[in-house]
Amino acid sequence: MPTPRLKTPSPSRPPPAHSSSSNAVAPDQSPTRPQVSLQPSSKKRAHSKSTIFRRVKSLFRSFPVINPPCKIPGPIHANRMHDGHIHGGKQMTGTLFGHRKSRVNLSIQENSKSLPILVMELSIQTGKLLQDMGLGLVRIALECEKNHSEKVKLLEEPIWTMYCNGRKVGYAVKREPTDDDLKLMQMLHAVSMGAGVLPGHDGETGSAAAAEGELTYMRAYFERMVGSKDSETYYMMNPDGNSGPELSIFFVRV
């Protein structure tokens, strides 16, 4: 029997009443989930050859004997900030998503219709991060130890020590996108910038869904600045251009 075609979200549908967005299109919340039609990024992703042994070794490398101070880079790109935007970087699509009482996930795409080039689980609750962003600028620094014997691309590093506004909050983990991640990106493929909630996502009902809260997402443009092979920065840009980035994410290999 042929497989029925699944309905993809229509950009013309109005956003839900509880969703606040700018140029956002409400994802289809029908029980039938859409097929994933995201396209590979223009830059071919290198297949990671990491093994369980290397991941475990990286995990042990990330545990410091004495907690070092956070090495957030200085304002190396301050001279490129004009009118609330950073010039000279590459524009990417970034999505923060997760249940309010669970850890937040970060997805980076070349654009909203491409496959993610990075999916990461951060060691902070989704609700807490969104609350902090509402209070002012949030700076997240992700650090890992440089190993000269292994030639690994910066964003392929599996384990990161995470700091939020200079305070150590745990460890972030890079992971491969799951089917649920890809289906979520597909549902949001028509959303360029915006935020909202998806109640009952993935058919979650009952006490388990109530304990974790609704699935919350925030999508925006990020300016990617590459300092070297051991440092990259992603600045979330405000759509109105009246102020600087609300969120800055630093990847540093030291």
pLDDT at 74 over 70: no
Average pLDDT over residues 28-38: 58
Cα angle vertex 120, ends 52, 234, to 5°? 130
Segment (H or E) for 216: strand 215-228
* Beta-bridge mates of residue 90: 224
* Average pLDDT over all residues of the chain: 76
Structure tokens at 66: 């004495």
Q: What is the mean pLDDT of residues 117-135?
A: 94
122/211: higher pLDDT: 122
Mean pLDDT of 148-159: 92
| Lowest mean per-residue pLDDT among 101-105, 206-210, 244-248 | 206-210
How much is the pLDDT for 2?
A: 54
Percent of the chain with pLDDT over 70: 59
Compute the residue count for the chain: 254
Question: DSSP secondary structure string, 91-109?
Answer: EEEEEEEEETTSEEEEEEE
The pLDDT tens digits for 171-187 are: 999 999 999 999 999 99
Residues 6+ apart with CB under 8 A from 46: 153, 156
Distance CA 225, CA 252 (A): 12
Q: What distance in Å separates the CA atoms of residue 88 and residue 184, rounded to the nearest whole number?
A: 30
Cβ(111)–Cβ(128) below 8 Å: no
CB of 119 closer than 8 Å to CB of 107? yes
**Interval 193-205 mean pLDDT:** 70
Residue 78 DSSP one-character state: G
Lowest mean pLDDT among 34-43, 97-106, 112-121, 198-207: 198-207
Query: Among 150-164, 192-206, 221-235, whose mean pLDDT is lowest?
Result: 192-206
For 1-19, what is the mean pLDDT? 48
Fill in the amino acid letter for 144. C
Q: pTM higher than 0.85 for the full model?
A: no
CA 220/CA 185 separation, integer angstroms: 13
- Average pLDDT on 59-80 reads 46
pLDDT for the residue numbered 160:
98
Q: Is the pLDDT of residue 244 over 80?
A: no
pLDDT tens sequence across 79-123:
444 444 555 689 999 999 999 899 999 999 999 999 999 999 999
The continuous run of DSSP H or E covering 8 comes out as none
User: Could you tell me which residues are beta bridge partners of residue 167?
Assistant: 164
* Beta-carbon count within 10 A of 85 CB: 17
